[in-house]
Structure 1
Amino acid sequence: MNEHVGSGAEPDQTSADSQRESDAQLRGVIDEYMSTFQPEPEDTAGVRERILQLVRDDLYRGPSTNLQTEQGHPFSISTASVRSIVRNAVDSVDGIRARSVDVEPAGDPEGSAATVSLTVAMRAGISFAPTAEAIRRSVSAEVLAELGIPAARIDINAEDVYVD
């Protein structure tokens, strides 16, 4: 369904208008902040545009999950990518299909591990307990291989059964 039907504006125009409005709001916030501490003009050259570009880049990338390498270096990866990694690991287990996936930073320090919660659909006739252990092994191995962090906890909820 086209969300722009009846708006009288083309999708590209609506997107451009939305970006201009966001830019104007951000400029207002930046100007208000800048007026409170009165930096020298040479210190502000390009600051507004750099901040706006960072915000645009973040919006373009979408929601991110913040994690840390085993050496303690923080990094950010799109949440969609993390979910895709987990879904692929779940789907590799015979008779299982991933449904919803949620990955949250965990560990000490925060982000040095991950907590995974997921729902699955199971093929009729599969025993849940041994299959859940196979899912945990697969997800744990994939998260460690792809993200370089361990899965501290993997919660699985079977919410549907299907017949091939």
Structure 2
Amino acid sequence: MNEHVAGSGAEPDPADAHPESDAALRGVIDDYMSTFEPEPEDTAGLRERILRLVRDDLYRGPSTHLQTGRGNPFSISTASVRSIVRIAVDSVDGIRARSVDVEPAGDPEGSAATVALTVAMRAGIPFAATAEVIRGSVAAAVLAELGIPAVRIDINAEDVYVD
């Protein structure tokens, strides 16, 4: 496996990222190819194209799969989705985002989102009123940035802090 050295400018090779996944995928492709016996011209480079897609996906990290209001599917990195929610939560006075989980929801799935998050709040802040402000901020950010509604926003106050 290639090692990435900070500051070297060299990126790790995604092909080296998950050799077990590559081997498993190669097995599935081989089974498929032996069962259906496609014409050789139909399979030229198929395995490498599939593996390149899988490697690229692994290299980018986990994705959240959603759809636009018109039903067009899209993927966005889960880290980006969490960042959108964190910024919305942190914009509320006296609140700091902790964990964030966003899951596709709606019918069809991915046309909406459910959000579960934990927060730390400054001592003396009334939770019930502030939770509604957090929900409004998160709902607006999800709609503005992702183009889908947040149909459920669960908030758990996990910690209290003093400035």
SS in 2 for 1:11: coil
Would you say how many aligned residue pairs link Structure 1 and Structure 2?
156
Normalising by structure 2, what TM-score?
Answer: 0.88
- 1 CA distance for matches of 2:49 and 2:15? 19
- 2 CA distance for matches of 1:120 and 1:21? 37
Counterparts in 2 of 1:18 and 1:90: CA distance versus 1, 3 Å: closer
- The one-letter amino acid paired with 1:60 is Y
SS in 2 for 1:30: helix
TM-fit CA distance, 1:125:
0.7
TM-fit CA distance, 1:17:
5.4
SS in 1 for 2:125: coil
TM-fit CA distance, 1:122:
0.2
Partner of 1:106: 105
SS in 2 for 1:98: strand
Partner of 1:83: 82
- Alignment pair present for 1:36 and 2:35: yes
Partner of 1:148: 147
Partner of 1:118: 117
TM-fit CA distance, 1:130:
1.0
- Alignment pair present for 1:95 and 2:87: no
- The one-letter amino acid paired with 2:117 is L
TM-fit CA distance, 1:126:
0.5
Question: What RMSD, in angstroms, separates the aligned Cα atoms of the two structures?
Answer: 2.1
- The one-letter amino acid paired with 1:58 is D
TM-fit CA distance, 1:22:
4.0
Partner of 2:160: 161
- 2 CA distance for matches of 1:30 and 1:120? 45
| Structure 2: segments with no counterpart, 5+ residues | 5-11
TM-fit CA distance, 1:20:
4.7
TM-fit CA distance, 1:10:
6.7
Normalising by structure 1, what TM-score?
Answer: 0.87
Partner of 1:69: 68
Counterparts in 2 of 1:161 and 1:150: CA distance versus 1, 3 Å: same
SS in 1 for 2:157: strand
Partner of 1:135: 134
Asked if the contact 2:17/2:55 (under 8 Å) is kept, the reply is no
Partner of 1:11: 3
- 2 CA distance for matches of 1:86 and 1:131? 16
| Structure 1: segments with no counterpart, 5+ residues | 1-8
- 2 CA distance for matches of 1:133 and 1:17? 46
Partner of 1:55: 54
TM-fit CA distance, 1:32:
2.0
